[in-house]
Chain A
Amino acid sequence: MIRLRGIRKVFNAGKPNEFTAVDSVSLVVEAKKVTVLKGPSGSGKTTLLSIMGCMARPTAGRIELEGKEITSLPERFLTDIRRDNFGFIFQSLNLITGVTALENVMLPAYPVGEKHSLLRQRALDLLGLFNLTQKALSKVEWLSGGEAQRVAIARALINDPSVIIADEPTAHLDTKLSIEFMENMESLRNKGKTIIIASHDPIVFDSEIVERTVELRDGKVIGK
């Protein structure tokens, strides 16, 4: 469970271009459920996701993860928490080009120091789960959009996180692939993962698997 209390995020504080991306957001994201943050561009969805995923610190407010306060932890600990608890799927996928799909999947686990052969096997198993065994040694830029999306999901799962965070995951996908993505999220939810998705795509927020929708506008929650 993730609990946010009075979260506020201000960019360029004190400068003429000061901008409040998130303002006074208090929210509880329940474990093992699919939650969608819905809202137009600039509503603060991505910023809120970054804060929930320990990628950015709020300007004010508190965050609790599984009942533990994590707002004031130093960067090193936040990195550890992020690596152990969260798997990220980015809007533009953010796969590293020039290296293989397999290596992209293994990347988040490199600093952990797991035995290379075991890690490789785990990554291959994950790729197998998404029918990508044949593509394991292909460079990511040779993959189709759907394949690349699945590689990104496999990468998010390599450290076996309890929470999957996806930012506009269907932005570059056609309808068929978007539906396929939601099916993948459903199967992950069924395996006990918490899913948080930021999206303004109806295929996502109208999906049957979504258990809760949080609507944002101008950095504020306008509907839960």
Chain B
Amino acid sequence: MGPWIEKQRNILDFTLASLLRRKGKNAALLLVYTFIVFVLASVMFFTHSIKKEAGLVLQGSPDIIVQRTVAGRHDLIPASYLGPLTKIRGVASGRIRLWGYYFDPITGANYTLLVPEDFSAGAGAAIVGSGISKSRLASEGDVIVLRAHNGESLVLTIKGVLSEKSELISADLVLISEPDFRKLFGISKGHGTDIVLTVRNKKELSTIALKITEALPDARPIIRDEILRTYESVFNWRGGIITVLLAGAVFAFIIFAWDKATGLSAEERKEIGILKAVGWETSDVLLMKFWEGAALSLSAFLTGTALAYLHVFFASSPLFGPALKGWSVLYPEFRLTPFIDPVQIATLFFLTVVPYTTATIVPSWRAATVDPDSVMR
């Protein structure tokens, strides 16, 4: 084992000294390579985490949401719809929900306002998400003023700040009482935003959805899995768009790397001849080329991935976050919880390190099989 390790060490040592000889060229290659890995890993980390967050949030969401549509658009739902819906066989319970969006001109952000099922803080109180607390510099005991539909001011005292496992949804959330909500948006007692239903047997979800449309033709049932699928496709699509935009850069890199890796210069060819003449075997030369490719691509891979991790999870993806997040996220500060999929890391590894290392070895194979006496001629 000893001589084997020493051999690897000696050859690796020479390889690194060798790489340093062409500092400029190798540094440029390393830089571009790292950048590509960084961008790909950033997109990967971001879309994966955001989908994971969405999944976590939706785990607690209701089985079926029923909305009323008027002229194809979501409208307020009459409270009288609750009766026929809960009578459908298989529906365990139902509840009218009140929620909506509020644009805050002060911070330029959209808040999500929601009336929880049991809001104990009472009228005149609000519990806000951490994003709002930060952007409005308001904490427990402070007062926030919202402008009602008729221009009047609604004064709310903050009774608490939400600190959820997932910031994605809770950051812009404001929980208020039912009377305050109706006063703010001018919604009468007989209406709600939508109705949520709990179903006993999850396998019957689509059958119940069908029965809902039959009982209430202007109602639109939304099943939880559908929302999850929409989230998935939206973020996959956004990740895809970024990847497509980057494809040009990636291809340019591939051509550059291919040229660097496969084209042995006359100088390199001569060096291989010298090494063989002084007693290196073909396999030793290939080992050296393997270390050369591995050292370069592994450094790029590790640096790129680490930078992407910092970029996405610590710096909130300033480079292309807006494109990935879309219009709906207007928080001044938004930090994703790190979720990393080992399979994705492995994929990235196999798509970057392995091809480059192989591309370095193949041409050397051809050069390394020449007769050592070529250097004598």
> What is the interface of chain A, defined by CB distance below 8 A to chain B?
46-47, 49-50, 55-56, 75-76, 79, 82-83, 88, 90-91, 94, 96-100, 103, 106-116, 119, 155, 159, 167
- Contacts known (A99-B21, A112-B7); A159 close to B277, Cβ less than 8 A: no
**Contact (Cβ within 8 A) A94 B274:** yes
B interface, over-half SS: helix
Q: Does B350 contact A (CB under 8 A)?
A: no
**Contact (Cβ within 8 A) B371 A55:** yes
A interface, over-half SS: helix
Minimum C-beta distance from B23 to chain A (A): 10
Indicate with 1 or 0, residue by residue over B363-377, a CB within 8 angstroms of chain A CB atoms.
000000001110111
- Contacts known (A90-B277, A96-B274, A98-B21); A113 close to B373, Cβ less than 8 A: no
Query: In the complex the two chains form, what is the Cα distance from A118 to B154 in whole Å?
Result: 83
**Contact (Cβ within 8 A) A111 B277:** no
**Contact (Cβ within 8 A) B10 A116:** yes
**Contact (Cβ within 8 A) A116 B13:** yes
Q: Interface size on B (CB < 8 Å)? A: 33
Q: Does B14 contact A (CB under 8 A)?
A: yes
Minimum C-beta distance from A80 to chain B (A): 8
**Contact (Cβ within 8 A) A111 B376:** no
**Contact (Cβ within 8 A) B279 A103:** no
**Contact (Cβ within 8 A) A75 B282:** yes
- Contacts known (A55-B376, A82-B279); A110 close to B284, Cβ less than 8 A: yes
Query: In the complex the two chains form, what is the Cα distance from A116 to B278 in whole Å?
Result: 18
What 3 A-B pairs are tightest by C-beta distance, nearest first? A113-B3, A83-B279, A98-B21
**Contact (Cβ within 8 A) A108 B278:** yes
Q: Does B271 contact A (CB under 8 A)?
A: yes
**Contact (Cβ within 8 A) B277 A107:** no
Contacts of B277 in A (CB 8 A): 55, 88, 90, 94
**Contact (Cβ within 8 A) A113 B280:** no
**Contact (Cβ within 8 A) A108 B279:** yes
**Contact (Cβ within 8 A) B3 A110:** no
Contacts of B377 in A (CB 8 A): 46
**Contact (Cβ within 8 A) B376 A107:** no
Query: In the complex the two chains form, what is the Cα distance from A110 to B13 in whole Å?
Result: 10
Residue among A49, A91, A111 making CB contact with B279, cutoff 8 Å: A111
Contacts of B284 in A (CB 8 A): 110-111
Contacts of B274 in A (CB 8 A): 94, 96
Minimum C-beta distance from A52 to chain B (A): 11
Q: Does B6 contact A (CB under 8 A)?
A: yes
Query: In the complex the two chains form, what is the Cα distance from A82 to B6 in whole Å?
Result: 21
Q: Does B87 contact A (CB under 8 A)?
A: no
**Contact (Cβ within 8 A) A113 B376:** no
Q: Does B251 contact A (CB under 8 A)?
A: no
Query: In the complex the two chains form, what is the Cα distance from A90 to B270 in whole Å?
Result: 13
11 contacts between A and B (CB under 8 A): A55-B371, A56-B373, A76-B281, A88-B277, A94-B270, A103-B14, A107-B275, A109-B10, A111-B279, A113-B10, A155-B278
